[in-house]
Amino acid sequence: MIYTDTRDSSVKTDFRTAVMNGMNSATGGLYIPVSFPKLDSSFINKTPEPSFREIAFNMAKPYVEGEIPDEDLMTIIADAYPFTPKVVPLDSISYVLELFHGPTCAFKDFGARFMARVMSYFNKTENGTLHILVATSGDTGSAVGSAFHNVPGLDVTILYPEGKISKIQEKQLSTFTGNVRALKVKGTFDDCQKLVKTAFTDEDLRNEFRLSSANSINISRLLPQSFYYMYSSLVVKNRAPLDSKLENPAILAVVPSGNFGNLTSGLIAREMGAPIEGFVAATNTNRTIPDWIATGEYNARPSVETYANAMDVGAPSNYERIKALYSYEDVKSLFASYWLDNDGIKSAIADCNTKTGYTIDPHGAIAWKAWDDIRSGEMQKLKDGCKNDWTKPGLTPNLPAWADKVTGKNAVSIILETAHPAKFGNIVSDAIGREPAIPETLQAVMNLPDQAIPMENDYAKFKEWLKANLQK
């Protein structure tokens, strides 16, 4: 596969370079494959559907062709995914896709574990340590730290905004030892991301250290997230006619979104033939994308803290990829867009529990509520010409191409549940009156000592620290 760049389509490179560089420091752009090959329809139409790992292998193959032999790719996939995503029905036309069955109980395990193994594979033939710098608003850091922990030749420095992530998240980040460490930055997630981005474009630093990223800007995190969209849409395609009594209903994916890496992965799966009609981008008060969809104007802004803090992103990095792949008109026809404020998030957690019995986390709750509103009349109102005020919580006033499927009651949804509710126990218990049960993997880190290193929001200080502390 040839990879190009969102800012310069004359750039042509291979998977290895795209993975190891993270982003193109010459242009500041992000890598994207030049094509998204469709899976064979015989594979997609198999009943029962192929297993998650089989799907993962077949989807990854074209992107690594000529660079990772099949056998090695199979090992990478088997090693990355000892767990699978689970499709859980909520009612006859709604499914939750549980993406929290990995070691850190968040969907980012899917991307991070694949990336770590691919990087380790490529690094075997390089000299010296590869330094991963990663900014996190919560879940990225622990997924990356866990995925890279004790992997030889790789070293990870995690930056997170001090005081802006949950207690469990902080424990998960700050208790690593050995080749993984966390810096608690006096600033926001965007500040952390800026420090990392500045380091990547710093020639002087790059001459001294081999640097790479692990944020959702790395293509090796984005591609594997498409696996579970394909998997879940095939599961739902096969069972929805039985559950819903509908013939061939449209499948919608409702995606809690921050940096829009997850949603971009969904678009990739759709390009590759996943039977997904369209998407709902569900977000919080950081409504940069809803505003763009409503007005056509994209304005990055400082991030605002919310209960769904893994989506506290004011300048979503994958906007750049979405823009490079689709026109604004295409986006409006593919996506509905929806946002909730903190009060809305809390009510959504409570409503979901009352209506379905399911305990959902604050990120998934926005997605659930988006679907609940869409199916119960909000899409019809838009069709009837009601112009929603997009500066208020709710649905953005655009009619996607699939709106008729919803109003004609011929659509089912896959709601992506991106984290285990216990990671946000306080908010969930405020909403439903009891704490969600804590999975064992999370319980274990709560007893480990905190090792985080304090850091000013100051590039010169950050650079000085890197120079003094990283091994060559």
If one asks whether residue 192 binds ligand PLP (CB under 6 A), the answer comes out as no
Of 44-52, 251-259, 332-340, 462-470, the window that binds ligand PLP (rule: CB under 6 A) is: 251-259
Binders of ligand PLP among residues 198 to 227 (CB under 6 A) are: 216
Short-list 107, 85, 114, CA closest to 228: 85
123 or 140, CB closer to ligand PLP?
140
If one asks whether residue 258 binds ligand PLP (CB under 6 A), the answer comes out as yes
What element of type H or E holds 157? Answer: strand 154-161
Give the pairing type, strands 86-91 and 335-339.
unpaired
24 or 257, CB closer to ligand PLP?
257
108 or 405, CB closer to ligand PLP?
108
> What does the DSSP 8-state code read for residue 357?
-
216 or 407, CB closer to ligand PLP?
216
256 or 400, CB closer to ligand PLP?
256
CB atoms within 10 A of CB 79: 13
Buried b / exposed e over 178-211, threshold 16 CB at 10 Å, is: ebbbbbbbebbbbbbbbbbbebbebeebeeebbb
If one asks whether residue 161 binds ligand PLP (CB under 6 A), the answer comes out as no
If one asks whether residue 306 binds ligand PLP (CB under 6 A), the answer comes out as no
If one asks whether residue 256 binds ligand PLP (CB under 6 A), the answer comes out as yes
If one asks whether residue 259 binds ligand PLP (CB under 6 A), the answer comes out as yes
DSSP-assigned states of every residue in 216-263:
TTSHHHHHHHHHHHHHHHHHHHHHHHHHH--SSPEEEEEEE-SSSHHH
Of 41-49, 78-86, 253-261, 333-341, the window that binds ligand PLP (rule: CB under 6 A) is: 253-261
Q: Of 11, 93, 419, 432, which one interacts with ligand PLP (CB under 6 A)?
A: 419
Of 10-18, 258-266, 294-302, 459-467, the window that binds ligand PLP (rule: CB under 6 A) is: 258-266
Length of the chain: 472
Short-list 166, 139, 99, 168, CA closest to 158: 139
Query: What amino acid is encoded at 443 in this protein?
Result: Q
Q: Of 172, 174, 193, 262, which one interacts with ligand PLP (CB under 6 A)?
A: 262
Smallest distance from ligand PLP to CB 138, Å: 6
Of 148-156, 256-264, 296-304, 383-391, the window that binds ligand PLP (rule: CB under 6 A) is: 256-264
If one asks whether residue 108 binds ligand PLP (CB under 6 A), the answer comes out as yes
What element of type H or E holds 414? Answer: strand 411-417
332 or 363, CB closer to ligand PLP?
363
If one asks whether residue 266 binds ligand PLP (CB under 6 A), the answer comes out as no
If one asks whether residue 193 binds ligand PLP (CB under 6 A), the answer comes out as no
If one asks whether residue 286 binds ligand PLP (CB under 6 A), the answer comes out as no
Smallest distance from ligand PLP to CB 83, Å: 16
If one asks whether residue 257 binds ligand PLP (CB under 6 A), the answer comes out as yes
Of 254-262, 343-351, 389-397, 436-444, the window that binds ligand PLP (rule: CB under 6 A) is: 254-262
26 or 437, CB closer to ligand PLP?
437
Q: Are 226 and 266 in contact (CB under 8 A)?
A: yes
If one asks whether residue 311 binds ligand PLP (CB under 6 A), the answer comes out as yes
Residue 147 half-sphere exposure toward CB, CA atoms < 13 A: 35
If one asks whether residue 462 binds ligand PLP (CB under 6 A), the answer comes out as no
Smallest distance from ligand PLP to CB 325, Å: 16
> What does the DSSP 8-state code read for residue 26?
T
Smallest distance from ligand PLP to CB 40, Å: 28
Q: Are 75 and 393 in contact (CB under 8 A)?
A: no
Binding mask 114-153 for ligand PLP (x = CB under 6 A): ------------------------xx--------------
250: phi then psi, degrees, rounded to nearest 5: -70, 135
Give the separation between CA 141 and CA 95, rounded to whole angstroms.
Answer: 28
Give the separation between CA 270 and CA 274, rounded to whole angstroms.
Answer: 5
Show the beta-strand stretches assigned E in 263-410. Answer: 278-283, 335-339, 394-395
Q: Of 279, 418, 422, 427, which one interacts with ligand PLP (CB under 6 A)?
A: 418
- From the number of C-beta atoms within 10 Å of its C-beta (0-12, 13-18, 19+), residue 51 rates as exposed
If one asks whether residue 307 binds ligand PLP (CB under 6 A), the answer comes out as no
Instruction: Examine residue 50 and say whether the peptide bond preceding it is cis (omega within 30 degrees of 0).
Output: no
Chain residues that interact with ligand PLP, rule: CB under 6 A: 106, 108, 138-139, 216, 256-262, 310-311, 363, 418-419
